Structure 1
Amino acid sequence: MDVMAPQRHGPISLRVVRQRDARVLQNELIGNRSWLRPWEATSPDGPVSFDMRIGVRRLLQQYRDGTGVPFVMEYDGEIAGQLNVWGVARGSLASATIGYWVSERFAGRGITPTAVAMATDIAFREMMLHRMEICIRPENHASLRVVEKLGFRYEGLRRRYIHINGDWRDHYAFALVREEVPEGVLTRWVEGRAPQDAAAIPPADRLHA
C-alpha cells in the first residue's frame, strides 16, 4: 500500500493514520465526549464499537480498497483530531466527502480549515477527483465557519440526512469542484481570495432546517 506523503502548513500537518495511532485517538475521543457527542455519527441499529483499534483497521482497509483516505491532523507533531475523505466514487462522478473532528484543547488554532484545504487539494491533485462535498448540521457553527473561510459553495438543505447523536439530522451541503480552485484551496484561502459569500445559506433554508 503506497502511503501519501504528509502535508504541512506551519505547525499543522495532515498524514495518513497509522495503526499505532489508535490508542492516542481513543484517549482523545474519550476525553472529548461532551465536546464531540453532538456531532458524532451514530447507527440507527444501536450502539457500535468504540474500539479505535478496530476503527483504524477498517479505515486502513478502506484506504487499501480505494474508497477512502483516513488522515490524522497534527499540531506541532501532536495528534489533534481526525479527517476522513470517504465515499470516494470514481468514473463519471469522481467525488468524495470530508468528515472530521478536532479535540477541544486544539480548537481555535486554524487546524480544521487548514486540514480541510490540504485534504481537498490532495483529492483534486493526487486522487484526480472532481468534486469534494462537506455536509454540516445547521447547529454546528464552528464547522459552518470552516466552509465560509474556505469558500465552499452552498448547495442545499438535506433533510434527515445522517444519523447523528441518536437521530436523523438535517444537514447543509457544501461543495467545490476542481475548476473552481485551479490554484488550490489552501493557496486561495491563505492569499485571501476565497469568495466570502459562497457558503451563504438562503433564509428559507435557515428557516426550515
Structure 2
Amino acid sequence: MDISSPHTHGRVALRLVRTRDARTLQRELLGNRTWLRPWEATSPDGPVSFDMRAGVRRLLQQYRDGNGVPFVMEYDGELAGQLNVWGIARGSMSSATIGYWVSERFAGRGVTPTCVAMATDVCFRELNLHRMEICIRPENQASLRVVEKLGFRYEGLRRRYIHIDGDWRDHYAFALVREEVPEGVLARWVSGRAPQHAATVPPSDRLRA
C-alpha cells in the first residue's frame, strides 16, 4: 500500500502524516483541548500517556502493515488536523472507518468535508475498498453536517459504541459503498449532486440516543 502523493482541492490538502509532524500535532492538540475533548477517544482502563511522536510511529507502522492510513489535513500549507482511515478489512468485507479532528481556528472553512471526500475517494480508487464508514456522536453537530454535505447514508444507532470523553457513548453510523459514487465523493459534492437527505437520522433513533 503506497499513497505517497498529497491530494489537493483548492486551499485544502490531504497527505500522509510524517514523523516530523509530531511536534506540530501535539501543539495543536494541546492548544485545542476545550474544543476537542468532548469528541476524543479515551481508554476505559484510565489515562494513557500523551506522546505524539510515539503515536505517529504507531500510525505509520499500521500503515506499513496495511491496517490503516494516517493523514494530516492542511489549509494553505498549514497543518489543520488529522484524518485516520482505520480498521481496514480486506477480502469479503473490503471496508474501513474514517475518524478525524480539526483545529478550532480552521473550522467552517470546508477543510473536513473536503478531506473526508478525498480520503474516501483514495480508499475506493487507490486501495480498492468497497465500503467506508463514519461513526459520529449524536451531540456532534459539526461532524453530522460533514456527512450531510457529502451524502453519506445513515445506517443506524450503535449503543455505547466507543469510549469518548470518559464514558461509553452512543454513535450514529453512516456509510458509502463504491457503487454509490462512481464519479467520486468530492466530484459529486462539488457539483451539487450529493443526495440532500441521505444522512437524515430517523426521529425514533434521535429519541433513543
Q: Normalising by structure 1, what TM-score?
A: 0.99
Partner of 1:73: 73
Is 1:101 the counterpart of 2:105? The answer is no
Give, in whole Å, the separation in 2 of the partners of 1:61 and 1:3.
14
How many residue pairs were aligned?
209
Q: Aligned AA for 2:68?
A: G
Aligned-partner SS, 1:49: coil
Matches within 5 A, 1:129-208: 129-208=129-208
Partners of 1:123 and 1:40 lie apart in 2 by 24
Structure 1 unmatched runs, 5+: none
Aligned to 2:46: 46
1:125: which partner in 2? 125
Same amino acid, percent of matched pairs: 83
- CA distance in 2 between counterparts of 1:40 and 1:184 reads 29
The code of the aligned residue for 2:192 comes to: G
> Within 2, Cα distance between the matches of 1:2 and 1:168?
35
Alignment partners' CA distance in 2, 1:116 and 1:131: 14
- Matches of 2:200 and 2:44, distance apart in 1: 31
Mapping for residues 17-36 of structure 1, pairs under 5 Å: 17-36=17-36
CA distance in 1, matches of 2:174, 2:12: 24
Deviation at 1:3, TM superposition (A): 4.1
1:84 pairs with 2:62: no
Matches of 2:47 and 2:126, distance apart in 1: 36
Q: Secondary structure at 1:5's aligned position in 2?
A: coil
Measured in 1, the distance between the counterparts of 2:189 and 2:126 equals 20
CA RMSD of aligned residues (A): 0.7
Aligned to 1:7: 7
Q: 1 CA distance for matches of 2:4 and 2:163?
A: 30
Once the two structures are TM-superposed, the CA of residue 72 in structure 1 deviates from its matched residue by 0.2
By how many angstroms is 1:49 displaced?
Answer: 1.8
- Paired with 2:61 and 2:79, the residues of 1 have a C-alpha distance of 21
Query: What residue ranges of structure 2 are gaps of 5+ in the alignment?
Result: none
> Per-residue deviation at 1:48?
1.2
Moved over 2 A (4+): 1-4
